[in-house]
Amino acid sequence: MTELTHLTIAEARDGLKAKTFSATELTQAHVDAIAKARALNAYVLETPEKALAMAKASDEKIARGEGRALEGIPLGIKDLFCTEGVVSTAGSKILGNFTPPYESTVTRNLWNDGAVMLGKLNMDEFAMGSSNETSAFGPVVSPWRREGSNVSAGASGAIEGTHLVPGGSSGGSAAAVAAHLCLGATATDTGGSIRQPAAFTGTVGIKPTYGRVSRWGTVAFASSLDQAGPITRTVRDSAIMLASMASPDPKDTTCVDLPVPDFEAAISRGVKGLKIGIPKEYRIDGMSPEIEQLWHQGAEWLRAAGAEIVEVSLPHTKYALPAYYIVAPAEASSNLARYDGVRYGLRENGRDIVDLYEKSRAAGFGREVKRRIMIGTYVLSAGYYDAYYVRAQKLRTLIKRDFEEVYAQGVHAILTPATPSSAFGIGEKGSGDPVEMYLNDIFTVTVNMAGLPGIAVPAGLDAQGLPLGLQLIGRAFDEETLFAAGQVIEDSAGRIKLPQAWWA
C-alpha cells in the first residue's frame, strides 16, 4: 500500500470511505511526518491533539455513514487564516500570541465539511514576499534541491548547505504539500502568493476569481486583491478543496452570491473546441529558453487535446507590476494601521500614545512590511495621491480592459509561464534592491489586478532538476475551464515526482 501521506485527497477520500484505513491512522501518519520535518520550518504551530480529536470525530461520522466532502482529510492552514482558540500570527511578531475568538469563513467551511487541522503554516510576514524569507519565524526550506546539491539535514536536525526557497508568500503551504506534510493546504494570493510557490515546488495552486472565496477572518493585506485558494498535489485535489473553501458569505460584502459549481466534475471536460490565447507580451527579454520551451510545449499539449491556440495581445502587461506596487502598499498601509499596540499583539510603552504606536510598530513589523507601509503612506499622502494612486488605479482599468477584449474575441483561457525562473537559493535575491524580488510576480500579478482566476500546474523540470509551472488565466467566475485545461496539462506532463524525505 502507498504510504498514507503520499495519497492524494481523492485517494484518501476513497480509502476512508472504503474503510481501508481510518481518519485517525491517516492523521497520525501526518503528525509523525511533521515531527520529523521540523528542519523545513513549514509549520509555525503544530496542533496534533486537535488533529487527532478531529480525526476521531471523523471516524465516528464515517462509521455512521455520515461522512462529508472532506471527512477525515488532514490539511495545513496558512497562518493568515484566523482559527478559533489557536494562535494566528500572519508570520509577524506584531500579532504576538493573538488567539482569535472566531473562525475565518474559509476554515469554518473546511471544518464543516469534515477536514482535519494539522497546524498553522509558515508564510511571509503579512503575505508580503515571494520567498518566505520575510517571516518572523524564519525562512521555510524547500523540499526540493538542485541536482548534485550538498543540502542535507545535519546531525543536529538543522539544514546544512545552501537551500532553496519554496516561494512565497504561501511558502509553508507549498513546502508542506510538496513534502507530504499534509494532503492539501490553504493559501492566499495577492500578487502571486499561491501560484508562484506552487510553481516552485511542483504543486498545483489556484487563485480563484476575486469574490469567489470569502475574505472574512483572513488577515488583510490588500483587500481589493487578496483571495484565498488551495495548494495541492493534483488538479483534482485543488478542485475538491476549492469547492469546500468557496461559499457566499454575508460577512464579506465583496464575496459574491453565486452558487459554487461542481469543480471536480469540470476536470474531465477536456479542452476540445476551446480557444486558448498565448499573450505575446509575456515573452519577456531574458526569459530562459527552458521556460520558453515549456510554454510552447504546454500550448502543443492543449492543441493535441483539441484546443485552438491563438496569439493574443495584452498591451498593458508591463505596467501591472509597477501599478501593483502602488495599489497593494496603499491598501496595506491602511489595513495595517490597526496594529497599534493597544487592542492586540505586541506593545512597547512610550511617553505618550503616539510614541507608544511608533515604538510598538517599529518593534513589531519586519523590514519588508515597514517598507511597504511607508510606500503606501507616501503614495496616499497629500500632493501625491493623484500622481501615484489615482494613476495606478487607471492603469488597473486598462489592464482589466486588455483581458476583456481578449475574452470578447472568443478566447476561453490564456496560457503563460507561472514564473520567470525556477526556485532560487535563500539569500540570493532582493537583499540590495527590493524590486529584484518583486519581479518574481511579473506573470501572476496581472491576474490579481484584473480580479481573474489563475491556476499554476507543474509542467516539467529544468536542467537543475527543479520544477517549472505553467499558468492558465480564465474568465471571471470560470474556474471550471481552468480545472479542465489544468487537468490536460497534468495528464500530458505526467505527475511530477516529488522529492524523497531527505530531511527526515
List 6, 38, 50, 400, residue binding another protein (CB under 8 A): 400
List 35, 158, 265, 387, residue binding another protein (CB under 8 A): 387
Note whether 407 binds another protein by CB under 8 A: no
Dihedral angle sign, alpha carbons of residues 468, 245, 257, 80: negative
Would you say 40 and 140 are in contact if contact means Cβ atoms under 8 Å apart? yes
Closest separation in Å from C-beta 405 to another protein: 14
Contact set for another protein, span 347-376 (CB under 8 A): 347, 349-359, 361-362, 365, 370-371, 373-376
Give the x-and-dash track for 127-166 against another protein (CB under 8 A): ----------------------------------------
Q: Which is nearer to another protein, 248 or 465 (CB)?
A: 248
Contacts of 292 (CB under 8 A, 6+ apart): 283
Note whether 393 binds another protein by CB under 8 A: yes
Note whether 377 binds another protein by CB under 8 A: yes
Closest separation in Å from C-beta 168 to another protein: 18
Note whether 304 binds another protein by CB under 8 A: no
List 50, 61, 93, 391, residue binding another protein (CB under 8 A): 391
Stretches 65-73, 266-274, 434-442, 496-504: which one binds another protein (CB under 8 A)?
Answer: 434-442
Set 22, 58, 78, 360: catalytic member = 78
Closest separation in Å from C-beta 397 to another protein: 5
Closest separation in Å from C-beta 253 to another protein: 5
Q: Are strands 227-232 and 204-207 parallel, antiparallel or unpaired?
A: antiparallel
Contact set for another protein, span 9-38 (CB under 8 A): none
Active site residue 169: yes
Closest separation in Å from C-beta 210 to another protein: 5
List 63, 158, 435, 463, residue binding another protein (CB under 8 A): 435
Would you say 360 and 341 are in contact if contact means Cβ atoms under 8 Å apart? yes
What is the CA 416 to chain-centroid distance, rounded?
A: 18
Contact set for another protein, span 443-472 (CB under 8 A): 449-451
Note whether 342 binds another protein by CB under 8 A: yes
For residue 444, give the nearest of 486, 488, 414 by alpha carbon: 414
H or E element in which residue 300 lies: helix 289-304
Contacts of 140 (CB under 8 A, 6+ apart): 40, 41, 42, 122, 132, 165, 166, 171, 172, 175
Q: Which is nearer to another protein, 210 or 282 (CB)?
A: 210
State how far the Cα of 460 lies from the Cα of 468, in Å rounded to an integer: 6
Give the interface size with another protein as a residue count (CB under 8 A): 75
What's phi and psi for 121, nearest 5 deg? -100, 140
List 392, 488, 493, 498, residue binding another protein (CB under 8 A): 392
Would you say 375 and 140 are in contact if contact means Cβ atoms under 8 Å apart? no
Q: Are strands 204-207 and 275-279 parallel, antiparallel or unpaired?
A: unpaired
Note whether 429 binds another protein by CB under 8 A: no
* Backbone Cα Rg of the chain: 21
Note whether 381 binds another protein by CB under 8 A: yes
Q: Which is nearer to another protein, 96 or 270 (CB)?
A: 96
State how far the Cα of 4 lies from the Cα of 115, in Å rounded to an integer: 16
Would you say 213 and 106 are in contact if contact means Cβ atoms under 8 Å apart? yes
Active site residue 251: no
Note whether 313 binds another protein by CB under 8 A: no
Note whether 286 binds another protein by CB under 8 A: no
Distances, alpha carbon 299 to alpha carbons 32, 134, 457, 488, in Å: 41, 35, 13, 11
Query: Which residues partner with 229 through β-bridges?
Result: 187
State how far the Cα of 189 lies from the Cα of 238, in Å rounded to an integer: 15
Note whether 316 binds another protein by CB under 8 A: yes
Q: Which is nearer to another protein, 144 or 407 (CB)?
A: 407
Q: Which is nearer to another protein, 346 or 488 (CB)?
A: 346
State how far the Cα of 152 lies from the Cα of 154, in Å rounded to an integer: 6
Closest separation in Å from C-beta 11 to another protein: 35
Closest separation in Å from C-beta 262 to another protein: 22
| Residue whose entry in the numeric block shows the C-alpha cell 491556440 | 309
Residues assigned a catalytic role: 78, 169, 193
